[in-house]
Structure 1
Amino acid sequence: MKRLPLAILMAVFFGWLLWSVSVRQAALFAVGIGLGAVLAGKRFGFTTGWRMLVEDKDPSGVFGQLLLLALAAILAMPLLGHFPELTAALGPPSVSLIVGAFVFGLCMQIADGCGSGTLYKAGLGIPMNAAILPVFAIGSFLGSLHLGWWLDLGRAQPVGLVSAWGWPTALLATLAGLAAVAAGVSAYCKRANHRAGREYKPLFVRKWVVGAVLLAVLATLNLVIAGQPWGVVYGFGLWAAKVANATGAVDVGSSWFWSQPGNALRLQETVLLDVTSITNIGILAGALWISAGTPASAKPLTGTQWAVALVAGLVLGYSSRLAFGCNVGAMFSGISTGSIHGWIWVPLAFAGTIFGLRIRRHFGF
């Protein structure tokens, strides 16, 4: 589909949301379109940035992500401090977080995408990611059914730095932590490239910087409009849960996760009232508009590669629920709104990524 008719369809859907659902949901759909257009247009991939660092000793992708985290924290933390009706992306430090983050980091390299990456690449028409999207949703739903059991293995109360320390101290601590990571990444790449006799790659590249600035602004708009930080994974699990509930395949309401009042309500409401789902739909639409009817090029996969990718996608969804989010919900929104669980998630997921890259190379992706 060409951009003009697609834009007309998106405008009609926006107008219908505005008239029939709510102003908030229409606004979140528009924010989602912006997120999808930036992610796809700038190829701002969290998975790709980590792979560039490990395989090519190229820090620009990770520095783009660190800039994004810093800008988002600068925008979000004062808002959280001044407007108590806004909520942070809090998750409990737990066994499920430790296991889920590591497994997620491993599988996202095999599946070539985290939650947002899977969405925007599916919108670009990449066959593997389009096929992974539904199995990701199934995996996220299965993870929600087992989450209560995982939490019983051990958990602590969520810790929010803004509420614990106040937003100025929380922001300074967050920026100091990000600066420390940046210094470590820079030193590692400089040393590794020097030893290999390669030219040191720049820390900042235009597409990553522009993407970081735009995503930080859009994520802040999402926080203000939705009242909660940008997330992706919850919408996937909700879609699969609604299908399971409607078909009677699973007694969804009897599970610990879906019996929680807020989740039970969303299970009964139309998916268009869920803030995460409507943003996800917007991301798909924004990426589709970028592709303009011309799917992104992708290497054909063998049967074995397809099987490995789909299994990775299923486990990716499952582990994302255990870890209380993906690179967006756990890392980006967690750290930028002051949640300790975001800082726990990152090193575990990065450790998983190192193993995932080895598996990815083994199967020739």
Structure 2
Amino acid sequence: MAAAVLFFSAFLCLSVSAITGLRYGLLIAIGLGFGAILEGLRFGFAGPWRAMILRRDPAGIWAQLLAIGIVALFALPLIDSHSGEVNAAKAPIGYAMVLGAFVFGAAMQIVLGCGSGTLVNAGSGNIVSLIALPFFALGSFAGAFNLSWWTGLGALPAQNLSGWEGTLVTLLTLSCVAAFLWWKAEPQLRRLPKKLILAALLLAILALFNLIVSGQPWGVVYGLGLWVAKGAYYSCIDLSGSVFWTATGSVERIQASVLTDYTSLTNIGLIAGAFLVAFWRNSLSQPVPKLALSGWVYAAVAGFLMGYAARLAFGCNVGAFFSGISTGSLHGWVWFAVAFMGSYLGIYLRPRLGLEV
């Protein structure tokens, strides 16, 4: 079993390298690592937020903050010293971003998976995520299609922390959030398991490799929307009504091979990595939830809203929260606070939509 997993991983990376070049082969390898860590070590985003809200268990969020802090410690100086070569995940803070973050936080709790979580769960055979994923991609495409209208409602310019001062402020703020969670946690749950510490360390290392190899932070949402945009383009669907999809960079990516798009490669690797871990564990055959038809419809709608909202919010838990904060973007902090509030709504709605049996 292990030999088959290693063979497939090596074959995939070498094939991509042979077709498009070493950089792209490295990115698919990084994506495989992301998927293996998230699935293999049970590191996630939506689940830990739910655990804190329902059980006051902060361990999963502590692990997220630890990983973000490790990345920030190295990424912020790197971005500062290599401006133009290595970029931050900066975005404006506006009405669209705040609304998008809130809706995303609610929708991810309805389907029990954020952007990366939906990819991981789909790769490991979760039926609800397999239903939600294509609608997530459609939502990402649709949100990008009319993003200019939403941003036209008003926004502050993108603001980024930089230099050693920015690094210090980021690490201190992460520490304050961690301390607040410790204060709010159940006393018997004030611990961070070694498995999550290891996962946070490995995830941070991979995120830094992704930043160095691609020149941009780890993201998820753009790649999913791009897949739908490619399908629309080659189906001769007119995209001229969208400022986003007719921008020079987007047109070039639509027309180019998917194997040369950085975010697509890590997304593909993430799904494959989760699949390989589930295959190794012999856990691909998951029971189908006994949901009413309405439950499946709600899962699809939530998937679409998650993709649409993530595009308005300039990212999901990965692109906005993880990569935003770790590369100094102030919008990452706003996204975190608003999406966490949205999670309360999603947790309230989930059983009422027939998604808990």
Q: Show CA shifts across 1:21-79 (max 9, x none).
A: 01110000001111100000011110001000000111111111111111111121121
Name the structure 1 match of 2:336. Answer: 346
1:330 aligns with 2:320: yes
The residue that corresponds to 2:215 in the other structure is: 227
> 1:172 is matched with which residue: 168, 172, 176?
168
Note the C-alpha offset of 1:287: 0.6
Does residue 1:215 correspond to 2:203, yes or no? yes
Distance in 2 between residues matched to 1:105 and 1:18, nearest whole Å = 36
1:88, 1:229 within 8 Å by CA — same for their partners in 2?
Answer: yes
Which aligned pairs between 1:93-104 and structure 2 lie closer than 5 A?
A: 93-104=93-104
**CA contact under 8 A between 1:63 and 1:203: conserved in structure 2?**
no
Amino acid at match of 1:57: R
1:82 aligns with 2:81: yes
1:139-150 correspondence runs (5 A): 139-150=139-150
Per-residue CA deviations over 1:83-113 (Å, capped at 9, x if unaligned) read 1210000111111101100000000000111
The yes-or-no answer on 1:278 pairing with 2:268 is: no
What is the alpha-carbon distance in structure 1 between the residues aligned to residue 250 and residue 96 of structure 2?
A: 19
Can you give the 5+ residue segments of structure 2 that lack an aligned partner in the other structure?
Answer: none
Structure 1: distance between partners of 2:120 and 2:88: 24
Amino acid at match of 2:253: R
Q: Deviations over 1:159-195 (max 9, x none)?
A: 1111xxxx20001000111111111111112xxx4xx
**2:107 aligned partner, one-letter code:** C
SS class of match (2:243): coil
- Kindly report structure 1 stretches of 4+ aligned residues shifted beyond 3 Å: 2-7, 296-299
The answer (yes or no) to whether the contact 2:127–2:288 under 8 Å persists in 1 is no
**1:256 partner SS:** coil
Deviations 1:127-159 (A, max 9, x none): 111121111000100101110100111122211
Partner of 1:245: 233
Q: 1:21 to 1:253 in 2, by over 3 A?
A: farther
CA shift at 1:10, angstroms?
3.1
Q: Cα distance, 1:4 vs. partner?
A: 3.4
For residues 309-357 of structure 1, what are the alpha-carbon distances to aligned partners after superposition, in whole Å with 9 as ceiling and x for unaligned? 1110010010000000000000000000000110110111001000100
2 CA distance for matches of 1:27 and 1:226?
9
1:207 CA displacement: 2.2
| Runs of at least 5 residues in structure 1 that lack an aligned partner in the other structure | 194-198
Note the C-alpha offset of 1:364.
4.6
Q: TM-score, normalised by structure 1?
A: 0.93
1:15 corresponds in structure 2 to: 14
* Higher deviation after alignment, 296-305 or 24-33: 296-305
Distance 2:275 2:56 in 1: 31
Paired residue total:
351
Q: Which amino acid aligns with 1:301?
A: K
Q: CA RMSD in A?
A: 1.4
